[in-house]
Amino acid sequence: MIQNKTTTKSDIIYQGWVGQMPRFIQPYLILMRADRPIGTWLLLFPCWWSLSLAADLWPNVYYMALMAFGAFVMRGAGCVMNDIADRHFDGQVARTATRPLPNGDVSLKQAITFMGLLCLIGLGVLIQFNNYTIMLGIASLGLVFIYPFCKRWTYWPQAILGLTFNWGALVGWAAVQGQVGWAAVCLYFAGWFWTMGYDTIYAHQDKDDDIMIGVKSSALKLGAKTKPALWVLYLCCLGLIGTAGYLAGVSLYFYIGLAACAAHLVWQIVTLDIYNPDRCLYLFKANRHFGWILLATILLGKL
């Protein structure tokens, strides 16, 4: 049933390394978005930021590797859960109609089993940390399972996504310190504002389809007010990052790097065209660069 889905409207393309895998594995890799790593990066960076901010000097490389693998697996589990929840909606939207569930490449039972397997692997990663971190990580699962349904009843599903995707800011700190500090809390909410911004940009791709099928998003709510909202969201993000650095006792180099972070976010807002889906997707993916810039900023702050 697998086809080479290369139409411009579809977001599924069985090419690259995924296309080189055995055919029976390909739909599962697509289901967990293994072909599109941007979601993994956006989930991982708050972990690495907090891990680095909590460290005495340099972050624990072993912990960084564990978090990278854990982010890949649990982002995959979240995507499977999202596709299970949206399987009827996805079939009505050109961009998502060829995803494995609505397309029939994977059955509902197979998807649920696969999600369970990914969660077990994620648990195997989590238990490598201290007990406090383990319990903190498990506590995030409620948000993971709630998020896919939020677009049915609120225009702000991005708010729940922000709470979910930035949980690593708490986990990273706890992995080092054995507890959650105020710097981690500030970093967590900085990530929340960041996610509210980048996922609103992302949601502008689908606003016409969302209206048609009756689901909600911040892009629909904000509309032409998106750019002013982004100025507020990103300003709050930067302010909280600066506060987190201050509470963690970083050096002046941190604030020099923070200026580069600010420049990147300003560039996103200035060049955004909410009526151009390709531009929205490009700017959404550019947040990976913001993640690297902020990580470098935190490491500079340790000098």
CB 126 within 8 A of CB 138: yes
Q: C-alpha angle 64/41/19, rounded to 5°?
A: 110
Per-residue pLDDT at 24 exceeds 60: yes
Cα–Cα distance between 200 and 192 in angstroms, integer?
12
**Domain covering 16-301: architecture:** Orthogonal Bundle (1.10)
* pLDDT tens readout for residues 120-161: 999 999 999 999 999 999 999 999 889 988 988 999 999 999
* Inter-residue contact 269 to 230 (CB < 8 Å): yes
Q: Can you tell me the distance from the alpha carbon of 171 to that of 177, in angstroms, rounded to the nearest whole number?
A: 10
* Beta carbons of 197 and 190 less than 8 angstroms apart: no
For tokens 């604030």, name the residue: 255
pLDDT computed for residue 29 by the predictor: 92
Q: Give the integer Cα–Cα distance in Å for 44 and 169.
A: 9
Which residues, in sequence order, are CB contacts of 175 under 8 Å at separation 6+? Answer: 51, 54, 60, 63, 67, 129, 130, 133
- Give pTM, 2 decimals: 0.91
On whether the CB atoms of residues 18 and 35 are closer than 8 A, the answer is yes
236: pLDDT strictly greater than 90: yes
H/E element holding 87?
A: helix 87-90
The encoded tokens of residue 302 equal: 């340790």
Q: What are the domain boundaries of the chain?
A: 16-301
The answer to whether the CB of 54 falls within 8 A of the CB of 184 is yes
**Residue with structure tokens 């896919």?**
148
Residue 89 has pLDDT above 70, yes or no: yes
Q: How confident is the model at residue 5 (pLDDT cuts 50, 70, 90)?
A: very low
Mean per-residue pLDDT over the chain, rounded: 91
12-21, 200-209, 217-226: which range is least confident on average?
Answer: 12-21
Give the pLDDT score at 162: 96
